[in-house]
Structure 1
């Protein structure tokens, strides 16, 4: 039996537009290759479209199972979330689209029982991160710098990698349990990762760090309603007195006192250096350009962040209206700046128009005076030639021939004498704009 007899034709128009609901219906009714051929795109590109639409696709072997009478579950279409594409047509880019100002949900108190999670479950944002981070190179203070950038926003040393990812996983699962979606920032608008100072007690004057700490290509965000809040988990550093021993700096507090006494008489020196503390910090920030908001939760020697996660979830939920207000203010300021810029451009263009008009008028006047002077020269030359011609007639034949020959040479040398042509070639002020 041919594929045409087994599968019907897609119901959508070739190339779209096709809604999210229609795409979901088609990918569970027909193989991806058949839908892709219908829309004249590759099946891999259509898979990207489904990802942008947040449309679940059949797993490998789905159609074979159905053909053999075996069950293959079909998950429901999830509700559209922030950044999900609603309608697609062939030729559309899968990049940013204009979205309204985010809206926060109604304030609510999250009950502790809502935040119970499975300790064995891994959040999709964290899956596979341990292996990639573990293979990264180690930079100053032991921080990991993986080669891949599309990773969960975690900046730690190798000893703290596993605890940090476990903490991030628990936080993300609790946020999801509270109804907030955690993901890599979508492409529906600009989401910027805020910079941070990894010092436990940041110095008054920011320090330039080289090499720079690792940073992801897309921030990790949680959506409270449609409000995005960026999340970074990093290991803090502290400044300690250190001694240079065997090619490396070691905190003086970690050098045994007996060894320290021996060092005091040998060739070495002490300085102050930054060292990773092993303590973590969760930092939330506003990823919308122009809106400045951030909040941090730090581990201390007496308390870990694990016991604060429920409170952090509640505080992030409560922060959404604050961020919305800041975004509205930032967008209003951006709108005002845009209007001011347009007004400034209008004034510059008006000044330029007046300048060009004045310049054209001055140049036209100068050229007209040159035409008039040329007309005056023509009149004088013509009067000269006329006077010569009238005087030649009284000369003897031989002299008259010489005079007429020289007159002809003079006319040829001067060229055409046409004042009207010079005026017609003159460009007035309006012709110059």
Structure 2
């Protein structure tokens, strides 16, 4: 093989392992089809691998331009982000990636000029969400429940859908401007969406809700460094006195006084019901298991949160070291629990081993005593036949023939007498 042929071959081993850096170098040196053939996968699958590794690929027409000596720019390899695949091997599931240890960046004060954003720009997490939410069914209190679950974590009524998505979009863009990545939770580890009470003033005793509010399949998270912080934007509810009018409950405060006077106290009575307030709440939480941290920002009046977004970005940035410490403590406790669990298993297995060992000894002893008894029985029977044969020899011929015939029948009835057979069939404790 010539040196030119060697240079046109991928440098990595067929099937991997291939690091991000190696994959980046290969896809910009050789066409995807050649690299895919080298690793014995399809080019479309290799494209998915590059996406999971956050490795930029040459655009369409790149190799044609190079063949015609036309420049085609090559972007640099971006820094590895949360959830990015670090090493790939053929046969690996693309969801399985190395589990990074959350680490917060050095605390810093974010300057207001850093958080200036374009009002027309839309964050990828929010793009397309309005149409899906709008087509969702409406449940109690008017909350929307879309058919899809891979959506931005927004729980609101239809009138507040547009304001909520605009608020989420502004917050996400400001977080990105501060250097924090907003995305759906990746698959590098377990990220759980924390439950919440939508009441503006949660009752002392939580009440079950049916049907349940919509929840996404993956939480929406912002990465401050490599520390994930979950975010939910929801519309709050409040408990009000209500009357049942024309097939629905209406807050008493919204019923005109003239209509109230016409209501019959016999057929219409007041009760207390939950109603959407039209005011939003941004709730941040730790998505890591066994960590309890959350913080909420509530609107005192509609639209008041828009003026607090810069402050919220700073507070989320400051919260990252707190969450990182909680995760470290939780993982240490999990490690201790795992060690304790393994020690319990070891002790249980040791107890079981000793029990089986003692059981084997007892059974071996019982079987040995049985073999000894069987030996004694055989010796006693053999002694009987030996004495009988000696005694028969002294009888007259006619009686001796009868006695010998009887002894033959007796031997046939008793069968083979081998005292060593029982000993050879016996199993000692170490054989069990």
The answer for the alignment partner of 2:44 in structure 1 is: 44
- Cα deviation per residue 1:83-131 (whole Å; 9 max; x = unaligned)? 2112222222223344343111111110100000001111111111112
Note the 1:377-392 alignment, pairs <5 A: 377-392=377-392
Structure-2 change in CA distance of 1:393 and 1:201 (3 Å) = same
SS in 2 for 1:147: coil
The answer for the alignment partner of 1:195 in structure 2 is: 195
SS in 2 for 1:272: strand
SS in 2 for 1:77: coil
Note the 1:286-325 alignment, pairs <5 A: 286-301=286-301, 304-325=304-325
Structure-2 change in CA distance of 1:189 and 1:263 (3 Å) = same
Note the 1:237-252 alignment, pairs <5 A: 237-252=237-252
1:329 equivalent in alignment to 2:336: no
Cα deviation for residue 132 of structure 1 reads 1.7
Q: Distance in 1 between matches of 2:128 and 2:50?
A: 22
Cα deviation for residue 8 of structure 1 reads 4.9
TM-score by length of 2: 0.91
The answer for the alignment partner of 1:353 in structure 2 is: 353
SS in 2 for 1:283: strand
Q: Distance in 2 between matches of 1:254 and 1:405?
A: 119
Report how many aligned residue pairs link the two structures. Answer: 428
Note the 1:85-100 alignment, pairs <5 A: 85-100=85-100
Structure-2 change in CA distance of 1:329 and 1:173 (3 Å) = same
Q: Distance in 1 between matches of 2:132 and 2:63?
A: 34
Stretches of structure 1 that go unaligned for 5 or more consecutive residues are: none
The answer to whether the 8 A contact 2:85-2:98 is kept is: no
Structure 1 consecutive aligned stretches of length 4 or more whose deviation exceeds 6 Å: 64-72
The answer for the alignment partner of 2:263 in structure 1 is: 263
The answer to whether the 8 A contact 2:279-2:302 is kept is: no
The answer for the alignment partner of 2:162 in structure 1 is: 162
Cα deviation for residue 19 of structure 1 reads 2.5
Cα deviation for residue 10 of structure 1 reads 4.1
Cα deviation for residue 60 of structure 1 reads 5.2
Cα deviation for residue 294 of structure 1 reads 0.7
The answer for the alignment partner of 1:146 in structure 2 is: 146
1:406 equivalent in alignment to 2:403: no
Structure-2 change in CA distance of 1:262 and 1:341 (3 Å) = same
Structure-2 change in CA distance of 1:61 and 1:390 (3 Å) = same
Cα deviation for residue 29 of structure 1 reads 4.6
Q: Distance in 2 between matches of 1:72 and 1:165?
A: 38
TM-score by length of 1: 0.91
Stretches of structure 2 that go unaligned for 5 or more consecutive residues are: none
Q: Distance in 2 between matches of 1:20 and 1:54?
A: 8
